[in-house]
A = this chain, B = another copy of it.
Amino acid sequence: MSYYQKHVFFCTNQREEGAECCNNIGAQWMRDYVKDKVQALGLSNETNHIRINSAGCMNRCDEGPVLVVYPEGVWYTYMDESDLDEIIVEHLQNGRVVERLKI
C-alpha cells in the first residue's frame, strides 16, 4: 500500500518572463489553496493521509497548469478555485475522476 493514500503534485515551476509555465497563472498560490482546504476537510490526517506537494516542471507545460494525483497517475489541468474544489471533493474525497479536467 502506498505511504500516502493520495499524493498530489502541483507543477509550480516559474520559467523566464513570457515563457509558458504553470506558475504564470499562480500555481503556487493554487497549491497553497488546495493544501489549506484539504487540511480543513481533515483529509490530510492519519486516516485519509492525503499529501499536497509542490514540484518542479513536470514537462507538460503546453497543457498547464497541471497537477497529478498518485498512485493512480491521473493528470488534471485547472483554471480557478472552482475547478480545484471539484477535484478536491470528487477525486480526493470521493475517489471519482473528474473527466472534464483530465488531461
Contact = CB atoms under 8 A, between A and B. Distances in A.
Contacts of A73: 1-4, 7, 70-71
Tell me whether chain A's interface is mostly helix, strand or loop, or mixed: loop
Interface stretch (A18-26, A49-57, A82-90, A92-100): A49-57
Given A70-B71, A70-B73, A53 B56 contact: yes
Contact of A7 (B2, B4, B68, B72): B68
Nearest to A2: B73
A7 B7 CA distance: 12
Given A2-B73, A7-B68, A70-B71, A56 B58 contact: no
Contact of A56 (B4, B55, B71): B55
Nearest to A60: B3
Interface of A: 1-4, 7, 9, 51, 53-60, 68, 70-73, 75
